[in-house]
Amino acid sequence: RDICLMTERSRDHVSVLRGSLGRHARVLVDDGRVLVGVFLCFDKQGNVVLGQTEEFRLLQPSEERPGVLKQQLEQRPMGSVLVPHALLRQFWVEKQGEE
């Protein structure tokens, strides 16, 4: 099970984020890509850093992509990434055990 930190109601949002460091996370960014990696850190501005990240994006058939005949999911390794708060749409972190 995952917890969506963008909608989580908490009096101390920072402590919820701190408690989630080191867990697996998924980030949906503005352009529809999904980044999956380990939640390493965040800053005051709301930027998020993920490590061991993989990017997933949906490729649509088009004239620019003659080899893509139907919808395909493309995956590529990215390593460490910084996701600017302005591009962050949703942010899920893996729950730790039963709470």
39 and 25 in contact (C-beta within 8 Å)? Answer: yes
* Residue 60 to residue 73: CA distance in whole angstroms: 9
Task: Write phi, then psi, for 13 (nearest 5 degrees).
Answer: -60, -35
User: Per the structure block, which two tokens stand in for 92?
Assistant: 């899920």
Q: What is the pLDDT of residues 26-66, one digit of tens each?
A: 999 999 999 999 999 998 888 999 999 999 998 777 767 67
> Alpha helices, DSSP H only, in 1-99?
13-20
Q: What is the pLDDT of residues 75-95, one digit of tens each?
A: 999 999 999 999 999 999 987
Burial classification of residue 3, based on how many CB atoms lie within 10 Å of its CB (0-12 exposed, 13-18 middle, 19 or more buried): middle
pLDDT band at 68 (very low <50, low <70, confident <90, very high): low
pLDDT at position 70 is 72
